[in-house]
């Protein structure tokens, strides 16, 4: 089974974020960046499927030169190969559709049975990439997968819905997005880290793919969330109930 895993490099959730002078991006110098956590579930599932069925696991990312760090981390987990569609400027310069077009173009002519990715990236939370890529590739899709069973070309994927779980049956090739609960991502071993340093990363210049990357969505501004108000102590249950009813209006 040949599997493509699309991943994205994002700021670490523990990193202190600052807005740059343009008001349309964050200050990226000196911040810690990681693989988007939902994408780690996708990598883990690909590796498990490879261990059970053989084949290859190829990572693919779209982003600036720094995105190679995310690919190296995925290779250290056990992926075989990596493809980097190199872009210039801020990652926020590309909207979801432009990124999906670049991914679909980069996959042209490549052999794959399954395309995996996280349900969403934790920086923009757009939750669109799986559906966009599937549509552009012309293959089936199942999003927010929490359980997966593949036998031959038959695919059974479970996803959470309000009040229960939905089971979807389809066939390869298919695009799947991974949800928390699908598995527990492995930590890279020292052997894996050393091997990853020797694995080559194929570079494709986004500008040479002939893809129209003009944004369909305009990013107007980026801002930090408002500071949380200070906590307030109450002296009695009656005061608490009154505040909940009259001020916060939750009861």
Assign residue 143 the CATH number of its domain: 3.40.50.620
Q: pLDDT digits over 194-239, tens only?
A: 999 999 899 999 999 999 998 888 888 888 888 888 888 888 999 8
Residue range 91-102: average pLDDT?
91
- Decide if 243 is inside a domain: no
Ramachandran sector of residue 96 (left: φ over 0; alpha: ψ -120 to 50; beta: rest): alpha
Domain span including residue 49 = 2-225
- Decide if 153 is inside a domain: yes
Lowest pLDDT segment from 1-5, 41-45, 77-81, 238-242: 238-242
- pLDDT computed for residue 1 by the predictor: 93
Q: pLDDT digits over 54-68, tens only?
A: 999 999 999 999 999
- Decide if 221 is inside a domain: yes
Pairing of strands 56-63, 174-178: unpaired
124 secondary structure, DSSP code = T
- Decide if 230 is inside a domain: no
Q: Among residues of the chain, what percentage have pLDDT more than 90?
A: 72
Counted domains in the chain: 1
- pLDDT computed for residue 222 by the predictor: 86
Strand partners, 83: 60, 202
What is the rounded distance in angstroms from the CA atom of residue 108 to the CA atom of residue 156? 26
Band (247; pLDDT cuts 50, 70, 90): confident
């Amino acid at each position: 089974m040949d599997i493509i895993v699309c991943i994205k490099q994002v700021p670490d959730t523990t990193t202190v974020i600052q807005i740059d002078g343009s008001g349309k991006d964050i200050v990226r110098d000196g911040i810690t960046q990681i693989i988007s956590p939902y994408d780690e579930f996708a990598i883990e599932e690909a590796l498990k499927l490879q261990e059970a069925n053989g084949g290859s696991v190829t990572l693919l990312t779209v982003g600036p030169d720094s995105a190679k760090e995310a690919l190296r981390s995925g290779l250290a987990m056990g992926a075989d190969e990596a493809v980097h569609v190199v872009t210039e400027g801020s990652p926020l310069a590309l909207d979801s559709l432009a990124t999906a077009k670049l991914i679909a173009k980069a996959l042209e002519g490549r052999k794959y049975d399954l395309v995996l990715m996280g349900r969403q990236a934790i920086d923009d939370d757009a939750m669109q990439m799986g559906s966009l890529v599937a549509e552009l590739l012309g293959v089936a899709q199942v999003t927010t997968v929490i359980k997966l069973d593949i036998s031959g070309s038959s695919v059974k994927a479970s996803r959470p819905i309000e009040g229960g779980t939905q089971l979807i049956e389809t066939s390869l090739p298919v695009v799947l997005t991974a949800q928390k609960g699908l598995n527990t991502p492995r930590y890279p071993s020292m052997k894996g880290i050393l091997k990853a340093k020797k694995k080559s990363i194929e570079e494709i210049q986004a500008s040479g793919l002939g893809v129209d990357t003009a944004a369909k969505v305009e990013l107007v501004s980026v801002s930090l969330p408002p500071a949380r108000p200070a906590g307030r102590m109450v002296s009695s249950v009656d005061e608490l109930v009154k505040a909940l009813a009259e001020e916060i209006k939750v009861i």
